[in-house]
Structure 1
Amino acid sequence: MDSQHWRAVITAAQAGDRRALDELVAGWLPLVYNIVGRALNGHADVDDVVQETMLRAVDHLGSLRDPDSFRSWLVAIAVRQVRDRARRKTPDRLEEAAAADFAELTVLRLQLEGQRREVAEAARWLDDEDRHLLSLWWLEVAGELTRRELAAAVGITRQHAAVRVQRMKERLETSRGIVRALDGACPDLRETTGRWNGRPDSVWRKRLARHIRGCGYCGGTREAVVPAERLLVGLALVPLPAGFTLSLALGGKTAAAATSAGWSAKLLGALTKPAVAMTAGATIVAGGAYVVTQPPDAPPPRAAVSPTATATSLPPRAPAPPAATPKTSPSTTEKAAREKTGPYGTVVDAVDRAPDPNARPAALPRRPESGVTSTGGPKAVMQHRGDHVTLTGRGYVLVRWQISPGSRPGALVMPSWTGLKGRLFHVASGGSRRMDDPLPGAPNGYATGMGGPAIGYAVLSPGTQQMWQNEYFYLDGTVTLTQNERGCDYGLIVFPTNRDAVVEDIDQGPPQGAIRYGLVRDTGTDRAPVPQYLTRGAPADPATVPQRSRV
C-alpha cells in the first residue's frame, strides 16, 4: 500500500478512529513479526516481544509527529524490545529451545530452495548481535526498509551501519560455507563434528570455518556462490503463523474491542480522543546545494587522455549564471588561484573508443603518496543506492565495478563524488578489460560486463565515459563517493591503494592472457582529468550531480 494511504491511516488513528487503528496494527504486524522472529530465531519469547512492540506503538502513537516516519519509528521500537528482552534473560532461559526455528519457518513458508535456503539456514550460526542486525538488513535487501531506517533503528550513523553490515555479511558468508560443508560428504568433517551436539554456536562456527579453510573438499566451490543480497532482493515477508493473528497480538482483542476487560487504559485513551495536534502543513527539508561551473569554452586538451585511446569532446555550452550559494562559492583566494593556474582538471565527459588490446599504457606520472583512509575500511563494498564512503588523505584509490545485468538489467545510474575538499583526478583504468569487452569464453561474444541479449543489458547514460573493471583515482584531500544504483544492478568495491599496484594492474596485458592493457589518463598536472559526476558541494540527492561538472 502506498505511503499516502498510510499517512491518512496514521493520522486518522491518532485522531481516535478505531478502524484506522485496527488497520494500522494489522498492516504492520508482519513487518514486526519478521524483525523479532529473525532476531530471536523463533525463541519462545517472540510472541511476547511482538505483542509488547505493538502495544508500545499504540500507546505512544500520539508522540509521533510525522506520519511519514512511522515505519522507522516502529522498527526502532521493535529493536529496543528485542534488546530489552536480551537484558532480561535469566540463566534458566538462556538455554531454552526455540518455539519454532525461524530459519526453518523461512524455508518452509517461502518455499526456499538452493542458495536461498542456504542463506536462511546460515542465520542460525550468527551471534545474537549479528542476528539482530541481519533481521533488519534482510528486510532492507528485500525492499521493506531503507539503509537510513536500519541505521536509525540500531542507533548508529549510516557510515557505521555500512561497516557493521559488512562485517555481519562476512560472518554470514562463512556460515553459508558451513551449511554447504555439512551437506557434503567429507569424512574428515564427520570426524570433526563427532562431538558436536548439533546446536550452532560461535565456538563451533570458528572451529568448522578453520576446517573448511584447510580442506580441499569442503573449501572447493562446486557451484557459483551468489552473494546473499542478490538472493534476497524482493523476497516476501515470512507469513504470520497459523493462529498468530491480530487478536493474539493485542492480547486477545482487536483494537476496536480493546475497551472491554480493562485491557489497556492508555489504549482506551488513544482510541477515544485525538492523540496529538497535527501541524497544518508538511515541512520539507532541503539538502545542501551544490555549485558547478560550466565546462571550458575550448575542448579538453588532447594530453588529458593518453595516446592509447581516442577521446571526443562535446561542444561547449553557453555559460550559466553562477549559483548564489555562499556556502559553496569559491573564495577570492580560490578565484585568484584559478585565474593564475587555469581551470582545475578536465572532466572525462565523452564516450571514448577502446584502445587497441596490444597498445601499452603511457607512463603513469608520480604523485606524492602518504596514504588514503576510508570510512569503509580497506575494502568497502557498496551494493545499494545510498551506500557511500568518505576518503581522506593523499594517494591512490581503486574503484572496482561489479555489474550484474543478469540479476537486474536496465539504465545504470552512475556513482557520484561529492563534498570534495582538495583535488581529485581520474588517473588510470585497468582490470584487463573494459565493461564493453566480451567476457572470456562467452558464447558468441555476447556476455560482456554490460550484458547481452540473453540476460539483458546495463545501459549507460548518454555521454558517460565507458568504465573499466578497475578505475583508479588520485586524491589529495577528502571526498565522498556515493553508490546511486537504481535501474541496473551493480556494486562498487573501494580500495585505498598505491602507485605500484596501479602500474602492475595496467601493465597486465595480452602477453599474460588478459584481454587488453590498461590506460593512463594522468598528465601529472592540475589539468589531468577529474571524474565525472564530481562536485565540491553536498546535494541532497548525489544522483543529481551533473555529468560534466567542473570544480
Structure 2
Amino acid sequence: MDTQHWRSTIAAAQAGDRRALDELVAGWLPLVYNIVGRALNGHADVDDVVQETMLRAVDHLGSLRDPDSFRSWLVAIAMRQIRDRARRRTPDPLDESVSGDAADFAELTVLRLQLEGQRREVAEAARWLDDEDRQLLSLWWLEVAGELTRRELAEAVGISRQHAAVRVQRMKERLETSRGIVRALDGACPDLRELTARWNGRPDSVWRKRLARHLRGCGYCGDTRESVVPAERLLVGIALVPIPVGLTLSLAFGGKTAAAATAAGASVGWSAKVLGALTKPAVAMTAGATIVAGGAYVATQTPDPAPPPRAAVTSTAPTASSAPLPPSSASPTPSPPPSPTRTTKADLYGTVVDAVDRAPDPDTRPAALPHRPETGITSTWGAKAVMQHRGEKVTLSGKGYVLVRWQISPQSRPGQLVMPAWTGLEGRIFHVASGGGRRMDDPVSPTDSSATGMGSTATGYTVLPDGTQQMWQNEYFYVDGTVTLNQNERGADYGVTVFPTTWDAVTKDVTSGPPEGAKRYGLVRDTGQDDTPVPQYVTRETPADPATVPRDSRV
C-alpha cells in the first residue's frame, strides 16, 4: 500500500474512524507478529506481547505527530514490550516448559515459508542465539527482507546507526557460528555424536560454546562441501511468516457484554490483563478520539476472498503438466486449463485474466499472433532501457509492441522476486505473447534432475510471488497510450531490458523453437479483442511506492 494511503489512514484513525483503525491494525499486525515471534522464538508469550503492542499503539495513536514515522514508532513499541517481558520474567533453567516452546517460530518459518537448504539453516540457527541477539535478529531479518530500514532498526533498539552497525555485525558472526552448528548436527561426525550423547536436544548458550569449540577443531565438521551463502543474501525478499489462524485482536465487541467478550477471549487464549483492557467501556486515545463499547474493532486473519470471474485466454497450444516451482517457495496449485469446448464470456477491457497456468507442450507451435495497429513507441530511455536497480523506470508512449526481457541472477542474490509494476496508465495495455526459447520454470540443466527453473541447486533459486503468471525470458506487450514500467527489485537479483519492437519481431520470436535450437516455442496470449490479458501488476494510479501495486489490478 502506498505511503500516501497509509498517511491518510493514520489521520482518519486518529480522528476516530473505526474502519481506518481496523485497516491500520490489520495492515501492520503481520509485521509486529514477525518481530515478536522471532525475538521470543515462538514462546507461548508471543500472543500476549503482540496483543499488548497493538493495544499500546491504539491507546497512544493520537500522540503520533508525524504519520510517516508510524512504522518506526510501532516497531519501537514492540521492542519495548519484548524488553519489558524479559525484565518481568526470570525463567528457571530447569523449567522444561520454557525451552520446550522455543523452537516454534523457527519451525513456523521453515514450514510456512517452505524454506529449504541454507535458508532453512538460517531459520534454525536462530534457536542458538541468546535473547539479545535474537531480538536484534528479528529486526535485521526484516531489514534484509526489505520490510524495515537501518534507521528504523536503530531507533527501535534505541542506539545510533553506527552502534547498530557494530551490533548487527557481532550478531551476524554468532549467527554464522550457529549455522555451522546446525550444519554439523545434520552430519555424521562420530566425535560429535559422542559429544552430544549427554545433550538434551534443547539449544542453549552452554552447548553453543561446546559445539563451536568442536567445530573449530574438527576436520570432518569443518569440511563444508558447498559454498556457504551469507545470511543477508539468503534472507533478501523472504516473505513475512503468516499470522496463525486464531490470533485475533478485538476492542469493543459490538453489542456483546463483558462476559461474552471474556468467553470469546478465553477461546483464543488471551491473558486476564489483555481481557481487562479489551472489555473496558472505552479506550481513549491521546488526541481525544475514543473507540466506545458498541463500536467494532477487529483485526484477524481471514480467508482470501474468492477471485473474480476471469475471461478465457484463447490459444491453440495444448497444455501439459507444469514443471514444479523451486522448493524454496510454496508452489501455487495450477488451475486446470479451460475446456476448449466450453464458451466463457469475456470480461471487458481492464480485467486481469492471467492465471497460474500449466506449461504448454514445448514442441507445439503457438496460435497466430493478431496484428494490432503500429504507429511506433517512444521511450524515455531511448532505444533500450536497461533497468537493474530498484526505483528505475521507463515511460512508453504511442501505439505498438514492447519487449520486456528478463535477466535473473540467483547466484548473486537469491530469494523471492518483487515484480515490476506498470503505473500511470493512460489508454490500454495488453500482454500479447511470451517469447520462444525458455520458460522460467523449465529445467535449468538437463543433467540436474533436482533443479527446475528460476535457478538451480548450485546457484540458488529465484521465486515468483504466489499466484504470479509464469514468465518466459522475453515477454511482449502492446501499448496504446502511455504507461510507465517500474523496476521494484528488492528480493532476488534481477534486471529488465525494455525496448520497442514490432509485430514481425514478436512473431519470429514466439515461433522460433525446435529444431532451431531453442528449448520450446513461445505462447500467444492475444485474442485480438479486449479479453486479451492485462498485465497482472498494472494501475492507472501513480503510487509513491510502485511495489505496492496489487497483483490483480483493475484498470
The TM-score normalised by the length of structure 2 is 0.48
TM norm structure 1: 0.48
